[in-house]
């Protein structure tokens, strides 16, 4: 996603099993490699993880320009 990924938009590089198609490849965005999983982030299942990631995206989105 050359212009970045907006909050709430599924990454185009995720396969149907939610695995990154760019994992281990040089074109993988640096930010993806810097995101380190933790128990807090992953929770007990995929739903917990998506809730956490949604909150992270919401909390870090740029402020609207006025």
Could you report the per-residue pLDDT of 4-37, keeping only the tens digit for each? 777 778 889 999 998 999 999 999 988 888 988 8
Could you report the per-residue pLDDT of 30-63, keeping only the tens digit for each? 888 898 889 998 899 989 988 998 888 888 887 7
**pTM as predicted:** 0.64
Handedness of CA 64, 34, 54, 10 (dihedral sign): positive
H/E stretch holding 6 reads none
According to DSSP, the residues that pair with 1 across neighbouring strands are none
According to DSSP, the residues that pair with 20 across neighbouring strands are 14
Per-residue confidence (pLDDT) for residue 24, from 0 to 100: 93
Residue with tokens 């760019």: 22
């Amino acid at each position: 996603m050359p212009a970045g990924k907006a909050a709430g938009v599924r990454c185009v590089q995720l396969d149907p099993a939610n695995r990154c198609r760019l994992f281990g490849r040089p074109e993988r965005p640096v930010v993806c490699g810097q995101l380190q999983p933790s128990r807090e982030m992953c929770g007990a299942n995929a739903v917990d993880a998506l809730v956490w990631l949604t909150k992270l995206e919401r909390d870090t989105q740029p402020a609207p320009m006025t």
